[in-house]
Structure 1
Amino acid sequence: MSFSGILVNQILIIFIIILIGVICYKTKLIDDTTNSKLSNILLMLVNPIVIFVSYQRDFSKELLEGLLISLLMSFAVHIVGILASYILIRKKRKQVIVLDKIRIKKYVDAENVEVERFAAIYANVGFMGIPLVNGIFGSEGVFYVTAAFTVFHILSWTHGVMMMSGEKNLNFKDFFKKLINPTIIGIAVGLICFIFQIRVPDVVYQALGHIANLNTPFAMLIAGVTIGKSNIVKLFTKNLRIYYISLIRLLVVPLISVMMFFWLPINETVKITAILMSAVPTAAIGTLFAIKFNKNAVLAAEIFAVTTLLSIVTVPVIIKIAEMLI
């Protein structure tokens, strides 16, 4: 089966779990408090273990080279996202006013620019990326996803924070404090174990593997609950600009990434993983940042929900295009 075929199957599985999450919220089986606790368990426990387990493999020069290439490719994808968002999402927008039957064009300050740009740049490499890559390539794919995780955390807590807060001077003490989190620790410890070939006992590995298997159901249930908070019909009709932001996140950035990467003479797993990471929907952390910096958190949550639902269609399309070119 082709990558896109496997991906469609994986996305259908994910969609069903998301739907179950929506039902759980509507029937009050999972409330906001429970969802918050599930999110913490996923971020603080499950994700780091998924990453650590992916590093429990035989060392090879090819894997290490692939990881470094993945790191560079992830930086490239984020740079594309930043440039595209600054070009396509402007701080000034043209407004037409009719005064005494005379049409007057003027430029006014746009609202929610920071929220829209963040949503267009930063992708959900954790919640959506890991389950999708794991479904196609297994733990080897997750191994390469850790590069995207690292770049995402570095840039979102530097560029992302400065953009959302409006502050030009970054507080490096706060940055490093936020950077030292279970995910980064999982990457660091896992990398050390990979390089020096430190293996945990088989019984420990199996136990960690069971916890790692919680990643997809937890992540998608959380996404489903988040979507369940919105009126789905109104979500897709009340603010058409969300489609514009979704277009940038789900099609513009991934298609540019495909054009940048398809010709590279590198490992196919590394290449497809990098392209897939560029194509996943908006990061959930955008809503948290919007709350923290007094931005439009409702809009951030709506963009997250819409891009997550639309990605069910767009992600297989992007990977199919990549397959045809590669």
Structure 2
Amino acid sequence: MIVRVINQVIILSLMMLIGVFAKKKNIITEEGEKSLSSFLVNITLPSLLITSFNYRYSEKMIANAESIFLYSIIIHIVIILLSKVCAYKYEDKVKKVMRFIIIFSNSGFMGYPVLEGLFGKVGVFYGAIFNIPLNIFMFSVGIAIYAGKNDIKNIKNVISNPVIISTIVGFLMFVFSIKLPYVVDTTLNSVGSMTTPLSMIIVGTMLAGVKLKDIFSGFQVYYTSFMRLIIVPLVTVLLLKLVKADSFMIQMCAVIEAMPSAVMASVLAQQYGADSKLAARSVFITTIISMVTIPIVVICIQFLTKT
């Protein structure tokens, strides 16, 4: 499995470099980047999610789906509390960014490709279930962290999000054993297969737009990256061992939590007047470092789940 992880990380890194090259050469413009991101979120990712539920109904998969949904809730509640302790001594603008970075992983752009590479379509299936609470927390608690209050409108936006809708549709298809016509299923599979390369190319275009001057300076970004990439996945493993989760569920959840920071960290920081430069740097650095830490975390997970 370790060789598979390393190979997957290398493949994703090369895809990301293609995005960097395309952005630097202006093959993909700013407007093109936004269009590609919109196309991914609204078309290819929902297609991938719907086809990931194309399994024969079984009680075991339903039980696993229920378990991973509950585990996601427990994990995020604990990490929300942990982030408050870890960032308490910093000024308000910095604290908000640090907490968001620690709590929310890039489970979409980076998470699904890695899960698919490690576990196949079943990885995307369980990842989609895990990400329902994650997205709800991100656009409720995450907004509250930045804005200092709850915003009900964002809860409505979560419910109407194409990713959430496609997850619900796919899950209902799975539960009621609804099979799509061959032509539709093949089309969705083909479109969904574009998600992995497209997502990493988009991440590359985002990284290409970050100014390198002074980007690697300052303790805060490394401290937050260490919490996001090492401590959070290890806390996830320990939590799930406490609740007697099986090794497969532990590996699934920990791999998702080993992902770099969610790109929304910098978008929301700018929108709500937090330290947007720190947020952008954190997204950049966690993404780069994760290329090394993901294989390390997977090795540690395998060791910890055997003991």
Could you tell me the TM-score, scaled by structure 1's length? 0.89
**1:201 corresponding residue in structure 2:** 181
Partner Cα separation in structure 2 for residue 321 and residue 299 of structure 1: 29
1:285 partnered with 2:264? yes
**1:172 corresponding residue in structure 2:** 152
1:217 partnered with 2:197? yes
1:281, 1:307 within 8 Å by CA — same for their partners in 2?
Answer: yes
The percent identity for this pair of structures is 29
Partner Cα separation in structure 2 for residue 240 and residue 20 of structure 1: 30
Partner Cα separation in structure 1 for residue 267 and residue 238 of structure 2: 32
Could you tell me the TM-score, scaled by structure 2's length? 0.94
For 1:202, the aligned partner's letter is Y
**2:166 corresponding residue in structure 1:** 186
Query: Per the alignment, do residues 321 and 209 of structure 1 end up closer, same or farther by CA in structure 2, a change over 3 Å counting?
Result: same
1:72 partnered with 2:70? yes
Partner Cα separation in structure 1 for residue 206 and residue 218 of structure 2: 18
Q: Which has the higher helix share?
A: 2
What is the RMSD of the two structures over their aligned residues, measured on CA atoms? 1.7
Residues paired across the two proteins, number = 305
Deviations 1:240-263 (A, max 9, x none): 321011011001111111222347
Q: Which runs of 5+ in 2 are unaligned?
A: none
For 2:220, the aligned partner's letter is R
Shift of 1:266: 4.7
Q: Equivalent residues in 2 for 1:241-256 (5 A)?
A: 241-256=220-235
Q: Which has the higher strand share?
A: 1
1:157, 1:179 within 8 Å by CA — same for their partners in 2?
Answer: no
For 1:134, the aligned partner's letter is E
Shift of 1:305: 0.8
Deviations 1:163-192 (A, max 9, x none): 11112xx34344223421111110111111
Mean Cα deviation higher: 32-41 or 295-304 = 295-304
**1:58 corresponding residue in structure 2:** 56
Shift of 1:48: 1.2
- What's the secondary structure of 1:123's corresponding residue? coil
Q: Which has the larger Rg?
A: 1
1:240 partnered with 2:238? no
2:144, 2:151 within 8 Å by CA — same for their partners in 1?
Answer: no
**1:228 corresponding residue in structure 2:** 208
Shift of 1:12: 0.4
Mean Cα deviation higher: 208-217 or 80-89 = 80-89
